[in-house]
Chains A and B, each alone.
Chain A
Amino acid sequence: MIAAVATAVATKDLRMELRSRYAAGSVLPFAVTMLLAFGFALGPDRPLLAQTAAGMLWLSATFAAVDLFHRSYRTETEAGALDGLRLAPGPAGAVYLGKAAAVAAQLLCLVVATGVVVGVLFGLPLGAAPVLLLLTAALGVVGLSAIGSLFGLVSVLGRRQAALPVLVLPLVTPVLIGAIRATDAAVSGRTAEVGGWLGVLAAFDAAFLATGFLVYVHLLED
């Protein structure tokens, strides 16, 4: 039941993204613009850019992700779609897992695309450890989505959208630290260090997917 509801919700969201191309057409350009701005802030010093590349990659992805979290629920407020989610069979947490999975899939594409841009602009050697980097990206986006899919709902039901970043950004501190450090360690060949950070990310993902699954019903019900 849980898997069926989650899959249905996730498939619906991904189909909508495929048709509307919001993330590809609006969120990705936003992330790239931010990267350019970071570049202007740091200056054209190649070693400095390479040193900060991992951080810039995850910062731009995180800020762009906040928009994606909002968007993910914006569409649910139209035509009474939210009531459909409330009436879905099984626990409400299943809807949460579906929303989180769809956002995570979109974010993964976003991080990979942003990563390529960072590779070009900042000289991040992506080829150094592709498997580890992909694993870091996967665990990182799941952590961001676990928090974002929980509180994204709040941003469309409340009176102001501004609460979302204030709420989400402090909570995802461990994801930012873990993902940035893991990325940095992977590209500079410190493979032993990566494992520990992936552990932090996995612990965060597990803790918040479980918490979100349990408490989502309190956000969804009216």
Chain B
Amino acid sequence: MNTVDRVLTAAGTRTAQRLLGWASVGTLAATAVAGLLLVPPDAEQGDVQRLMYVHVPAAWLAFLSFGVVAAASAAYLRTGRIRWDRVAVSSAEIGVLFCALTIALGSLWGRPVWGAWWTWDPRLTTTTVLLLVYVGYLTLRRVADSPARRAQWSAVVGLVGVVDIPIVHMSVVWWRSLHQEATVIRPGTPTMDGSMLATLLLGVLAFTLAYSYLMAVRLRIGRLEDSAASAVMTTPTPRATAPRRPAAAVDGGGRGA
């Protein structure tokens, strides 16, 4: 717990954020250059296969984010510290973004390779259910009527989601295997060239750095939001503290304040 505290505090400083931001910009640019210019096109799929260098890292990031949501949710339910709720919601927002990106990129890749925007492929279907579960998570947060309830409820969904996904995947895999449709060409080549693998790993590193950066920024926003909210709650409004004045004066001059 202490180590986590230290990491969170260190990531919260402006210097750390700037460093993470520039590191992710640098590695993302390097991934783009390597993926688009340096690495040779795929033998079977040609240039389309280059989508892999963003699709796979985006998918990795979605799963990483939702894993963090589950861990932070469990930590919140155990400790009741609001910080874990901030970690969970920050990660969930980033996760929903990258999960949607994964599906969109996969769809763009599937159109030329599979001949369709969508197939009922188990991974594709599970990823979509995953996205919907965490969209539900974010919806629930907007429905809750108090911060404490919001934290409790969403922590429960964060945990339930992670229990659900393996069962969803299992059932979809099985459902597909019983209903064989036209065989689709699997994306990716069975053996991967060394330079392709290196670019892919670079992409994974770049996306992970971007995740760390987004998390650090989002956590700071969360902290500021919470402190602003509590400041509003504890600080009396100027009107309440101002000395009583004639009603006419308040009406005349008080509006703009």
Contacts and interface: CB of A to CB of B under 8 A. Distances in A.
Interface of A: 147, 150-151, 154, 157-160, 162-163, 166-167, 169-171, 173-174, 177-178, 181, 193, 196, 200, 203-204, 207-208, 211, 215, 218-219, 221-222
Interface of B: 77, 129, 132-133, 135-137, 139-140, 142-145, 148-149, 152-153, 155-157, 159-161, 163-164, 167-168, 170-172, 174-175, 178
A207 B155 CA distance: 17
A207 B140 contact: no
B175 A171 contact: no
25 contacts: A154-B153, A158-B140, A160-B143, A162-B143, A163-B139, A163-B143, A166-B136, A166-B139, A167-B137, A167-B157, A170-B133, A171-B136, A171-B161, A173-B171, A173-B172, A174-B164, A200-B170, A200-B171, A211-B160, A215-B77, A215-B159, A218-B153, A218-B156, A222-B148, A222-B149
Contacts of A162: 139, 143
Q: Describe B's contact surface by its main secondary structure.
A: helix
Nearest to A193: B178
A24 to B, nearest CB: 29
A193 B177 CA distance: 12
Contacts of A166: 132, 135-136, 139
> Which 3 A-B pairs rank lowest in CB-CB distance, beginning with the nearest?
A158-B143, A170-B132, A167-B136
B100 to A, nearest CB: 14
A157 B145 contact: yes
Contact of B152 (A174, A200, A211, A218): A218
Contact of B175 (A147, A181, A203, A221): A181
Q: Which of A162, A171, A177 has the most CB atoms of chain B within a 10 A radius of its CB? A: A171
